[in-house]
Amino acid sequence: MTVNDDKQTDKRADRRAKSSGARFYAVQALYQMEAAGQSADRVTREFELYRLEAEDEDGQYLPADEGLFSRLVDAAVTWQSRIDQATDRGLVAKWPIDRIDPVLRALFRAAGAELVTPQTPPKVVITEYVRLAEAFFPEGREPKFVNAVLDHVARELRPEAF
């Protein structure tokens, strides 16, 4: 392996980490919008100013792609009805999206925002959001639930990818 190969590998890993961070923050922002009744503009600005790449109590930070973060929040708001309808069809009939955990709702909306646009392959989107579900719900069955629902949503929103 050459020095250039190492640099390319580092750049790809850095891009992946920033994309994962943007997804994590987008889920948090969508949750905050719903829980506090705040606008997308207000929450996006707050995250950009104070939360993206900010250190936590332990001096750690999660890098984030600010452009992806903004696109996810904007697309989730713009396409919320379409995303929610597709998610509803992936859920059990007696459990529409407005009855599920608000963190899961935010997660489905962020994932749906990526699935509405053809930039990221659906399998990558599903994998990334299942990982987020594992982070938010480390002891539960939610990651398997997220996988199943997002598989259904992806097949509906992006059938050409399957």
- Give tens-digit pLDDT for 106-157: 999 999 999 998 889 999 999 999 999 999 999 989 999 999 999 999 999 9
pLDDT digits (tens, 9 = 90+) for 18-33: 999 999 999 999 999 9
Distance CA(104)–CA(136), nearest Å, equals 9
Distance CA(56)–CA(60), nearest Å, equals 5
- Euclidean distance between the first and final Cα of the chain, in Å? 35
pLDDT at 4: 62
CA distances to 2, 137, 148, 162 from 5, rounded to whole Å, are 5, 36, 37, 32
pLDDT at 56: 65
pLDDT at 1: 55
Please state the pTM of the whole predicted model.
0.89
Name the percent of the chain lying above pLDDT 90.
73
Distance CA(14)–CA(8), nearest Å, equals 10
**Domain coverage including residue 109:** 4-161
pLDDT digits (tens, 9 = 90+) for 51-102: 887 776 677 778 899 999 999 999 999 999 999 999 999 987 667 787 899 9
What's the total number of domains in the chain?
A: 1
* CATH number, domain with residue 151: 1.10.940.10
pLDDT at 2: 62
Average pLDDT, the chain: 90
Dihedral angle sign, alpha carbons of residues 126, 131, 135, 141 = positive
What pLDDT band is residue 14 in, cutting at 50, 70 and 90?
A: confident
Nearest alpha carbon to residue 91 among 31, 29, 146, 38: 146
pLDDT at 5: 60
Q: Are 84 and 30 in contact (CB under 8 A)?
A: no
